[in-house]
Homo-oligomer: A and B are copies of this chain.
Amino acid sequence: MNTMPQYRKLYEILRRHILSGVYEEGSLLPSENELCALHGLTRPTVRQALESLVKDGLIAKRQGKGSIVRKPPQSIGILSIEGTASAIGDKYLKTVILQKPVIRKWEENFPFELSEIERESGAIYLERLRYVDGKPVFYDINHLPNINLPRFTSRSLENRSLFETLRSHYQIRINGGEQRIQAIRCPEDIAALLKIKKGDPVLYLQRKMATNREGFNIYSVIWFNSASHTIFGRF
């Protein structure tokens, strides 16, 4: 049986509470000692849970004061997007699947190095076009290794976060990664999708995301129209 460590359990609880609004933005989390008492844990364990929340940007700690709740900007996967005009809420975000998940071989010249197990298993491939405020903002293609993902290709991903699906159905979480970023002239086919002119500057990202499953990486290539919206990131 796969039992979750205590600090992860507490992390999940607090994360859910913060995101669902149990704690107001700017308010204080219960103190570390209170959390110890509430959940029957010791301080190092509680602190381990809080550390992950700090890493997520969900809380900021201040010595002598407490843990301040923050609500990081609306995030799409690991990308965060800032609108030029208004804040972005869930309702303004839309996902259209251009290519439903299919099983394929990995391309010959795949831009990242693959482990043997990944290469042998083949890839699940999908393409998406994502809208903010009703306008197309970026187009991405994604590869994930076809390892132990029952029924994945038949799941509906329309208007759902790929990462949220992996998280809730398969207990797969992104815990790091690497990426290359370039500014390029938009090729014609992508420009048509993004409703911009061929040759307009777009952000081009290649990213490899590592997960809590050893050797299970997710690969994305993204064309992003940064004229209307901005990529926002923490590090």
Q: Give chain A's interface residues, CB within 8 Å of chain B.
A: 44, 78, 82, 176-185, 201-204, 224, 226-227, 230-235
Tell whether, in the assembled complex, residue A176 and residue B234 are in contact, meaning their CB atoms are under 8 Å apart.
yes
How many copies of this chain sit in the oligomeric assembly?
Answer: 2
Known pairs A179-B232, A183-B201, A201-B202; list 17 more (Cβ under 8 Å).
A176-B235, A178-B235, A180-B231, A181-B203, A181-B226, A181-B230, A181-B233, A182-B203, A182-B226, A182-B227, A182-B231, A183-B202, A183-B203, A183-B224, A201-B201, A203-B203, A235-B235
Q: Are B44 and A178 in contact (CB under 8 A)?
A: no
Inter-chain CA distance A234–B202, complex, in Å, is 21
CB distance from A192 to the nearest CB of B (A): 18
Q: Hey, which chain B residues are within 8 Å of A230, CB to CB?
A: 180-182
Interface SS of A by simple majority: strand
Which 10 A-B residue pairings sit nearest by Cβ, starting from the closest?
Answer: A183-B183, A201-B201, A182-B226, A183-B201, A181-B231, A183-B203, A180-B230, A178-B234, A183-B226, A183-B202
Which B residue's beta carbon lies closest to that of A203? Answer: B183
Instruction: Identify the closest chain B residue to A234 (Cβ).
Output: B178
Residue of B nearest to A229 (CB): B182
Q: Name the B residues within 8 Å of A184 (CB-CB).
A: 183, 201, 226
Cβ contacts under 8 Å, A203 to chain B: 181-183, 203
Contact of A232 among B78, B178, B201 (CB under 8 A): B178
CB A40 to nearest CB in B, in angstroms, measures 20
Query: Of B82, B181, B182, B183, which is within 8 A of A180 by CB?
Result: B82
